[in-house]
Structure formats: C-alpha cells, structure tokens
Structure 1
C-alpha cells in the first residue's frame, strides 16, 4: 500500500462532487456577470471567488484521520511529507482553476490583463488558500474559511479595514513603513487587489515568505498528527 500515489489517493478523496462542481460553475458565471456590469462589480467578483476558495480549501484532515479514512495511504509509509504536500495541492486546485479561469475570461472580454493574474491577485489567492487550509487541518472541514470570514467581519465592524488600507498604501520609504505594509497585507490580503494588483517587491516577498511558513507548518502538522481511531458515528 505504501506505493500508492498520494496525489491519486487524495484526488479520489478530495475531488469536488458533481454538486460542488455545479456550484463552482455557478459562481464563475455570476462573478463574470458582476465583472461585466462595472468596475466595482469586478472587485465584488474577485471577492466572491476568493470567498468560495476559503470554503473549498478548508478540507480538514484530523477529523478524517481519526476515522481511518487515510489508513490506505499512511500504512507502512515512513515519510508523510509527500502525503501532506499532496493534500495541500489538491485542497487548493479547484479554487485555483476557478480563479485562473475567471482571470482568463476577463482578459478575453476586456483585452486587459486581469487583476486575478497580477502579482497582487495571485499572492492574495495563494496566501488566503494556504492559511485556511492549515487552520482546517486540526479544526475540521470548512473551519478555516468560517474563521477567516469571522475575522474579516470583526475588522470591518471595528473600522480597521480603512486603517489597514492606508497602512498598505503608504509608499515603501523605510523599513518601518514596509513592515507596516506587510502586516496590513497579512491581516487583510484584499488590500493587495488595489492599485491594479501591483505589489511592492518587498511586500510581495514578505507575504510570500509568510505563506511558505504557513504551508510548512501545515505539512509539519500532518507529519506529526497521530490520533486514536474513532468508531464510525
């Protein structure tokens, strides 16, 4: 069993069902409609697709582990890093396809490069996806996305979103200012969709580094997870 491909295994376990595929297609069509209406509609469309990814990428891990769902891929395997990486990749692929397809459609319709394809768009998507994936590993399916949305609502209710946008939008004139910009991008990644998706190189590096750290932390958690099996409910 240890020769079973992690990618093939998790494709069977995590691939979207027909209802999910239909929902993703509906989101794509509606997002394209919103984007065609106005410039504000484009921002709403990207936010809608990102919200979809926050839920889709929160696949969970430990809850299925304790139910023995992963025994076939883990039994007799000395190294779990490939398993963890495959789980991460296939958790994020459906939303990535949706994001890139939307960007391609927008490019064809408007003849301009979509923000979804710009550094700000791609890094926003990657960072958010990795964070909700890692959060859901222990907390359970959909938990990462729900927690992310809750924090976003708290920030909005507290009037902090405008503050974060101002902190991010300040020119990177010093180390302190750059650090504030990175912190704002990490706290509220949607700020990176502004300015047509352009991100200062130092900020881009900081967010990419944070995403890599979160990804490695998630892989480490999967490698270290060892929970007693539960009887089926």
Structure 2
C-alpha cells in the first residue's frame, strides 16, 4: 500500500462524518506525509496501521472531544521529534559550520594574496597618491596664479586711474582721460578674471574631491563584496 491508496481508503472510511471534520483529518495526515518525505512513506504507513484503524481512532476522538483538533498518534509524535527534527537540526549545524570554515578560508586566501602581491599594489597606491597630489598641485597653482593676476590687474587699474586723474589736474586733460579709461578697463578685466577663478575653483574642487573619494573607496568596496 502506498500513500495514495492509503489516503483514498481513509477518505472512504470517513464518509460518515461531517465534511469539515473529514477534510481536517485528511489535511492533517496529508501534511504529515509531506513532512516525512517520500523516502519515509512506507514507515509512516506501517506506524499508522490500516486506514480503517486510523478512521476508527478519529471517530472515537470526535465522539469523546467534539471540539478538539485532530491529534497525532504517539508513534507519529515520537518519530517526528526524534527522527526528522533532529536530522534537520544536525543539517543546520553542519551548514553553519561549513559556512564559517568557508568564510575563514576566503579571509586567509585574501591575506595570502595581499602579502604576495605587496610590491604591485604598493606601487599602484604610490602612483595614485602621486596623481592625487599632482592634481591638487595643479589646481592650487592655477588658483594662485589666477588670484595673483587678478590682484596685479586691479592694482594696475587703480594706478592708471590715479595717473589719469593727476594728468587732468595738471592740465593734460585728453591724456588724463585716456589713461583713466585704460585704468577702468584694466580693473574690469581683473574683476572678470577674479569671477572666473572663483567659478572654476568652486566647480573643479568638488569634482576633484568626489573623484578622489570614489577612487579610494572602490578597493574597499570590492574587498567587502568578496568577503561577504
């Protein structure tokens, strides 16, 4: 007798009870077969006995305790707690132990690879550090040069304006006006250059900082992904 024949015969033996109670009982035994697995099907049938005996037990329980749910026989409870639960628990312990060993092995492998490839990655790190320093140096040099040129233009413009005003006072009105206009022109160029320097530094500095942070973060992200 297999599971299918057992359940069909049990349904026939329970035909004289209510449909709800019959379905509850059948669902219970179906779930028990599912938990036991196909390999333990014959053992479960042997422990339960014949479908007629199981049906008699169900009907007797319903008569004694109409409101109680279907209870498992003692042999089923014992088998479930000792055979299947303990086996699943041992499998979980073995799986956790395997995961721990595998993780430790990967960490040890990463350490060995890091030691063996030390000359390579230390060279790469030094090169990246040099590039970062050079980028900041170029940025700082451009900013300093732009500020110096701006200051020079502003000072020259003020000086020309002063000379032009002095020329107008001394009697050379045409030359004074010309020099004064040149001074204002030079000051305007200096102010525009100052605005450009501030705008470029305000845009370039955050971009360079984000690039450097992302560049330094990538190796750590890859290491975390490999270790996880």
Report the TM-score when normalising by structure 2. Answer: 0.23
Structure with bigger helix share is: 2
Bigger CA radius of gyration:
2
Larger relative contact order (C-alpha < 8 A, sep ≥ 6)?
A: 1
